[in-house]
Amino acid sequence: MASMVQLRNVTKRFGSFVATHDVSLDIEEGEFLTLLGPSGCGKTTLLRMISGFETPTEGTVHLAGKDVTHVPPYKRDVNQVFQSYALFPHLTVAENIAFGLKMKKVAKSEIDDRVKQVTQLVSLTGFEERKPSQLSGGQRQRVALARAIVCQPRVLLLDEPLAALDAKLRHAMQIELKHLQRKVGITFVFVTHDQEEALTMSDRIAVINLGRMEQLGDSSEIYHSPRTTFVANFIGQANILEETPVTMLADQARVRLNDAIELTVNTTSIPPDSRNALISIRPEKNSSPENQSGRGKCFRGAGERRAFQRRRRPVDPDHRFRP
pLDDT in tens, 157-201: 999 888 877 788 788 888 888 888 998 899 999 999 999 899 999
Q: Which amino acid, one-letter code, is at 49?
A: M
Tell me, what's the pLDDT at 30? 94
**pLDDT 10s digits, 218-259:** 999 999 888 888 999 999 888 887 767 777 777 777 777 766
Q: How close are the terminal C-alpha atoms of the chain, in Å? A: 35
Does 214 have pLDDT greater than 80? yes
User: Contacts from 194-202 at CB under 8 Å and sequence distance 24+?
Assistant: 194/162, 194/163, 195/36, 195/234, 195/235, 195/236, 196/171, 197/34, 197/162, 197/170, 198/34, 198/36, 199/223, 199/235, 200/174, 200/175, 201/32, 201/34, 201/174, 201/175, 201/177, 202/32, 202/33, 202/34
Q: Which residues contact 224 (CB under 8 A, 6 or more apart)?
A: 282
Give, as one character, the DSSP assignment of residue 136.
-
Range 3-224 has CATH code 3.40.50.10610: no
Give, as one character, the DSSP assignment of residue 224.
H
Average pLDDT over residues 97-105: 92
Distance CA 23, CA 10 (A): 5
3-state secondary structure of 253: strand
Tell me, what's the pLDDT at 51? 95
Tell me, what's the pLDDT at 239? 80
Do residues 261 and 253 make contact, with C-beta atoms less than 8 angstroms apart?
A: no
Tell me, what's the pLDDT at 1? 62
Tell me, what's the pLDDT at 221? 92
Residue scoring higher pLDDT (52 or 292): 52
Residue 110's pLDDT band, with cuts at 50, 70 and 90, is: very high
Residue 107's pLDDT band, with cuts at 50, 70 and 90, is: very high
Distance CA 243, CA 259 (A): 11
Tell me, what's the pLDDT at 319? 46
Tell me, what's the pLDDT at 314? 47
- Taking CA atoms, 285 is separated from 224, 235, 282, in Å, by 11, 15, 5
Q: Which amino acid, one-letter code, is at 276?
A: N
Tell me, what's the pLDDT at 297? 63
Does 279 have pLDDT greater than 80? no
Tell me, what's the pLDDT at 167? 80
Lowest mean pLDDT segment, chosen from 44-58, 74-88, 93-107, 297-311: 297-311
pTM: 0.83
Residue scoring higher pLDDT (123 or 264): 123
Distance CA 135, CA 117 (A): 20
Do residues 103 and 122 make contact, with C-beta atoms less than 8 angstroms apart?
A: no
Residue 91's pLDDT band, with cuts at 50, 70 and 90, is: very high
Alpha helices in 41-128 (DSSP H): 43-51, 93-103, 108-121
**Backbone phi and psi for residue 312, each to the nearest 5 degrees, phi listed first:** -135, 125
Does 316 have pLDDT greater than 70? no
Provide the residue ranges of all domains of the chain, joining segments of one domain with +.
3-224, 237-285
CB burial of residue 8 (10 Å; 0-12, 13-18, 19+): middle
Tell me, what's the pLDDT at 90? 94
